[in-house]
Amino acid sequence: MSDLDNRQIERMDNVFRAQKAAFEAERHRSYKDRLRDIDAIGALTKKHADAIKDAAAADFGVRSRCETQLTEVTYMTTAVKHTRRHLWSWMQNRKVSIPGNLAPGKAYIRREPRGVAGIISPWNYPFQLAFSPILAALAAGCRVMLKPSELTPNMSELMRNMLAEEFDESHVAVLLGGPAVGEAFTKIPFDHLLYTGSTHVGRLVAKAAAENLTPVTLELGGKSPVIIDQGFKAKDAAASLSFGKFMNAGQTCIAPDYVLAPADQARPIGEAIIAKAEKSYPDWATDEDYTAIVSDRHYDRLNAMIEEARSGGAEILQASGGDPGNARKIAPTVVLNPPEDSKLMQEEIFGPVLPILAHNGLNDAMKRVNAGDRPLALYVYSKDKKAARRVLEGTISGGAVVNNTMLHYSVEDLPFGGVGASGYGAYHGEAGFETFTHARSVLEVPVWHPSRLIAPPYGKLFDMIANK
Ligand code: NAD
């Protein structure tokens, strides 16, 4: 049954029209007002920190409260501080030089708010992946409409109520619903649309936005590889691989998706990762810091992936633990040498399952990475800086970390985004401000300007200027 009815479409249109009118009435929101907006986002995040943890726990069944604190609440309060600190300088016009034959005059770039921004967010970090683009759009002086995920209804409802405390709907509005609402949402002629989610839906979003020539930022997923160099100790790689893969039970867009390791290291690395997971979660089945899978569909999908690899001859290593009962939990899992044509190696895993395959040297590993779609992140572990640089130069990915996983996400000054099938455009920090502003090129010249001299009938003066 469709989750969309005429009333919802009418409401969307009305909200969009109200936001458009409000933007036209205040095209350049002042620095002071934008600071107020940013502070409101920070204050709401702090005030509702417990409710955010409760909502995430209710939506996932089990969602580590510490991880919700770290990845949703603390991430946002840090991003707010960063934006607050830099907004003034981001808003300043940037002077550029002009060619001598255009002097006198001055040329500069004005960063102007794009207008009404649409944001579509996913379920895996349901608060942060909605509030972080909202923060960027507000810093840019835009109005915002958010369509959060239907898979995390408690968080979506909470965000709607939170934002209504501080913002009129003509400034920030939340539209609830599933794919049908999302589809109608993408037909709105936004001034910018930022979509976070799967590559499949990203394609549909880009197509719909193209009808209105709406510029789009696509934050998509994919298979983020790990390449381990010869001589890198298993236990040194295991800590960050275990953290990156089992945080949020692997339901992270930049989680390591699979590992390519030297042949003699594949098993020791796999065993070290499981040993680390057993230390982190003494009983994953009952541990409140080991998150559950968000839905039955994803739970069944992941179990089917493991079983397919097992029946294809792969070896499965799993952390020990009791019975999770009805919680949709899957043990921290490493799969040694799954078949290349198995779903584990063909699709983004998005769960606590880590395949490890053997490579025959860095060139072989890079060749295998390059044979697939361009990933959102790439992780290389090497004691040799030159070897790590060689991997960076020989591959393409949205972002990369040397000797760790995922930490680049928290550096606000690094633009965050994909490339190829993992998306295009970026946000975080200044990149987010740039995404939601238009770089308007301005040239100012005096009333009498020598350019007047270049006009037909062309003669000697023209030759002097144009032919030099
Ligand atoms: P999804 O594409 O199923 O859903 C994301 C959002 O799109 C939801 O709000 C959904 O309602 C909406 N939607 C669904 N169909 C739509 C349509 N036809 N038109 C418009 N909107 C529609 O993705 P998901 O399952 O929620 O998220 C998981 C995916 O997101 C993974 O691939 C993951 O890698 C990716 N992801 C990427 C990032 C990033 O920053 N690059 C972050 C988190 C997740």
- Answer yes or no: 253 catalytic: yes
What's the CA-to-centroid distance between 35 and ligand 1, angstroms?
A: 30
Q: What is the mean pLDDT of the chain?
A: 96
Give nearest CA residue, ligand 1 atom 43: 253
What's the CA-to-centroid distance between 107 and ligand 1, angstroms?
A: 41
Q: Please identify, by atom number, the ligand 1 atom nearest to the C-alpha of residue 423.
A: 41
A 10 A CB-CB count for 225 gives 23
From 146, 220, 294, mutation site for ligand 1 pocket: most ligand atoms within 8 A of C-beta? 220
Give the Cα separation of 372 and 340 in Å (integer): 12
Q: Which residues of 60-98 are buried (b: 16+ CB within 10 A; e: fewer)?
A: bbbbbbebbbebbbebbbebbebbbebbeebbeeeeeeb
Q: Under CATH, which architecture does the 225-410 domain have? A: 3-Layer(aba) Sandwich (3.40)
Backbone angles phi, psi at 261, to 5 degrees: -130, 155
The pTM for the full model equals 0.96
Q: Is the pLDDT of residue 316 over 80?
A: yes
Strand 437-444 with 106-113, pairing: antiparallel
pLDDT digits (tens, 9 = 90+) for 92-101: 999 999 999 8
Q: At 3, is the pLDDT very low, low, confident or very high (cuts 50, 70, 90)?
A: low
Residues with CB under 6 A from ligand 1: 120-124, 129, 147, 149-150, 178-179, 182-183, 186, 196-198, 201, 204-205, 219-221, 253, 348, 350, 376, 418, 423
- Answer yes or no: 219 catalytic: yes
**The one-letter amino acid at 287:** D
User: Could you tell me which CATH number the domain at 3-220+419-442 has?
Assistant: 3.40.605.10
Share of the chain above pLDDT 90, in %: 94
Give nearest CA residue, ligand 1 atom 8: 149
Give the Cα separation of 272 and 336 in Å (integer): 13
From 75, 119, 120, mutation site for ligand 1 pocket: most ligand atoms within 8 A of C-beta? 120
Give nearest CA residue, ligand 1 atom 40: 219
- Residue among 169, 253, 348, 412 flagged as catalytic: 253
What's the CA-to-centroid distance between 196 and ligand 1, angstroms?
A: 5
Stretch 31-55: mean pLDDT, rounded?
98
Q: Please identify, by atom number, the ligand 1 atom nearest to the C-alpha of residue 150.
A: 11
Give the Cα separation of 125 and 290 in Å (integer): 15
Share of the chain above pLDDT 70, in %: 99
pLDDT digits (tens, 9 = 90+) for 145-171: 999 999 999 999 999 999 999 999 999
pLDDT digits (tens, 9 = 90+) for 211-259: 999 999 999 999 999 999 999 999 999 999 999 999 999 999 999 999 9
Query: What are the structural domain ranges in the chain?
Result: 3-220+419-442, 225-410
